[in-house]
Amino acid sequence: MERLNKFLARAGVASRRKCDQLIAEGRVTVNGIVVTNPATRVSENDLVLVDNVPVRPVERHVYVELHKPRGYLTTLKDPYGRKTIVELLQDIPYRVFPVGRLDRDSEGLLLLTNDGFLTYVFTHPRFGVEKRYLVHVQGEVQAEDLERLKAGIPRGEEFYRIVSGRVLEKRGETSLVEVVLTEGKKHEVRILFDALGFPVIRLIRVGMGPLTLDPELPPGKWRYLRKDEEERLRAYLAERGQT
């Protein structure tokens, strides 16, 4: 027996957070009864429907690394007809969804999976999964600027900050900076550097948890994670007591 929201996520319906929303909206039934409590216990012997479609746990979890290029939305469908990552994933025979997102103008490592539990751990702030970015900005970033970003920048009701950062290179009036974050708020990196007067020219995610962007994977291409990478993922979750 397991919680309904975890059951749905494990079946690849959506991320754990999205499954909570589906349940709250009354779109999930268990043995013919609408259930709105995500903690309801179910088993594989129960008949679980989402929007009247039967749900069964997937037999195999798959993990895909996509080198996302600029100009693509991290979504599976866009009502305005803009380019989405789905156009880059035509050959994947599994239903997978992105782990978090990258802005349309951002690029780099994007993990996709049908493992809803892993998505939950990687996207929920309380687990503190580190995301590493290379940021090319206009202006000469100094060490004290990065200390300000570590202290945090308030914007409205939100508070933005980096965990760590270092200046890698300065080229004329531009700087290349590496930063690490754990929350992943919308446009977080851009908001942080804009607040200090350093407009972002290029933003590349190069790491998520134990994974790093494959330097041999061209932009727009994808591959399945290797066995050793999957093992690192499981070990990473085990360190957080989430296996």
| Residue 91 annotated in active site | no
Q: How many whole angstroms separate alpha carbon 30 and alpha carbon 13?
A: 15
Choose, from 46, 51, 78, 103, the residue flagged as catalytic: 103
Residue by residue, what is the 3-state secondary structure of the chain? CEEHHHHHHHCCCCCHHHHHHHHHCCCEEECCEECCCCCCEECCCCCEEECCEECCCCCCCCEEEEEECCCCECCCCCCCCCCEHHHHCCCCCCCCEECCCCCCCCEEEEEEECCHHHHHHHHCHHHCCCEEEEEEEECCCCHHHHHHHHHCEEECCEEECCCEEEEEEEECCEEEEEEEECCCCCCHHHHHHHHCCCCEEEEEEEEECCEECCCCCCCCCEEECCHHHHHHHHHHHHHCCCC
Q: How many whole angstroms separate alpha carbon 202 and alpha carbon 219?
A: 14
Q: Which residues are catalytic?
A: 103
